[in-house]
Amino acid sequence: MTTQHLPMPTLQRKGGELHLEEVALSAIAEEFGTPTYVYSLAALKAAYGAYRDALGGHRAMVCYAVKANSSLAILSVFARLGAGFDIVSGGELARVLAAGGDPARVVFSGVGKSAAEMRQALDAGIRCFNVESAAELERLAAIAAAMGKVAPIALRVNPDVDPKTHPYISTGLRSNKFGVAFDEAAALYRRAATLPSLRVAGIGCHIGSQLLDGAPVVEAAAKVLDLVDRLAAEGIALDHIDLGGGLGIRYRDEQPPAVAAYLAPLLALFAGRGEELLLEPGRSLVGNAGLLLTRVEYLKPGAEKNFAVVDAAMNDLARPALYDAWHEVVEVGAGSGERARYEVVGPICESGDFLAHDRALAVAAGDLLAILSAGAYGMTMSSNYNTRPRAAEVLIDGARIHLARARERVEALYAGEAALP
């Protein structure tokens, strides 16, 4: 078979067979079946370490963006490494706490926080609410007052900076639903400062995901720092500045900057300042630490296209159907069929159910394929469409295998339902 670029740092071929760390992927398939998500502990630790090392000597905290991958196993890894967490729902808060995360290191983002979620987060004692509208500010103030608590808040401001990424994952433009309009933020801070059940703690922004150029982040940060200084002149001092996440990874031929190079100009802006810097990386911590293992069910040659029908589908990995996203697809074994070009598709009854277009593969029915760089927004975006149980999840630590999530059972999918009497 031809040599293929493997963007995942702990994935290698030994004796013609793919291994993640020291474990053969075929052994994972034999023990746990397919489709299965497989993650590398060493890759998770290395990715977090890159941020920790780049921020060394600075007053800073890395808050892992839970939405990228909310597996308890992965959350517990980051909790033990000392990470904070960026959450966007009460369910994610419950997961963080179940995994041993410190609520005092949790920031709560999102445009639609419910009253119940606010109460849950206040009871837990989270670090900060990232407030995204005037209406949310008033609701949070009323709920905190009724509970006899003081809610720590930061406004997520919208700096109207183009991140030059996919429109679905751009979040900092004037037309996006996220954040408070930049020219309205000062007035909203003044309002917050008058409410005794709120404590103004910081400011935040997040301009988008899969960023391959740090310049837009620096531009947004400069605008935020200018606002921070104007607020300080009015007597509204902020303790932290949250610049979000978004650093991209290599899926195909992208060349994202190294973490240290990405952060260097941001840290230069913070030189001599006293505020704590918060960052919310997600994809760059988990994306290239995981893959989706799947098996070929059928090869279906056609007049215009050949299809490799696999047992994973768009319900398991939505990114290709949702964003037309590229994921490298590689043979787990040495390749047992004649090399040809295939559409890699799943069994779901949708024409949009594809995992990869026009890939050169040497496969036969029954062979295993690895869909790479699937650690972020894979399992968290999966569904039970077509009444398909969600995949198992496995975490690899050297030669050790940890079942992070058992495969769902079909009967469990309708256990809470009732037929008409």
Contact partners, residue 263, CB within 8 Å, separation at least 6:
51, 54, 55, 279
Contact indicator for 58, 79 with CB cutoff of 8 Å? no
Contact indicator for 180, 155 with CB cutoff of 8 Å? yes
Was 328 annotated as part of a binding site?
no
Q: Is the dihedral of CA 354, 359, 364, 370 positive or negative?
A: negative
Q: 307 pairs with which residues across the strands?
A: 300, 343
Nearest Cα residue to 131 out of 34, 203, 63, 42 = 203
Q: What amino acid occupies position 81? A: L
Cβ neighbours around 406 below 10 Å, total: 10
Measured distance CA(57)–CA(108) in Å, rounded:
26
Q: Residues, the chain, total?
A: 421
Q: 298 pairs with which residues across the strands?
A: 309
Angle between helices 90-98 and 72-81 (to 10 degrees): 70
Nearest Cα residue to 403 out of 79, 66, 71, 11 = 71
Q: Is the dihedral of CA 212, 215, 216, 220 positive or negative?
A: positive
Measured distance CA(375)–CA(285) in Å, rounded:
9
Spot the catalytic one: 63, 128, 205, 349.
349
Was 323 annotated as part of a binding site?
yes
Was 282 annotated as part of a binding site?
yes
Was 342 annotated as part of a binding site?
no
DSSP state of 66: G
Measured distance CA(76)–CA(79) in Å, rounded:
5
Specify the DSSP element, H or E, that contains 232: helix 215-233
Measured distance CA(4)–CA(119) in Å, rounded:
50
- Distances from the Cα of 225 to the Cα of 62, 221, 270, 285, 286, angstroms: 19, 6, 9, 26, 29
Specify the DSSP element, H or E, that contains 138: helix 134-147
Was 377 annotated as part of a binding site?
yes
Structure tokens at 116: 């119940």
128 is catalytic: no
Phi, psi angles (nearest 5°) of residue 129: -95, 125
Q: Which residues are annotated as a binding site for pyridoxal 5'-phosphate?
A: 246, 280-283, 377
Residues at the binding site for substrate are 283, 319, 323, 350, 377
Annotated binding site: 246, 280-283, 319, 323, 350, 377
* Catalytic machinery residues: 349
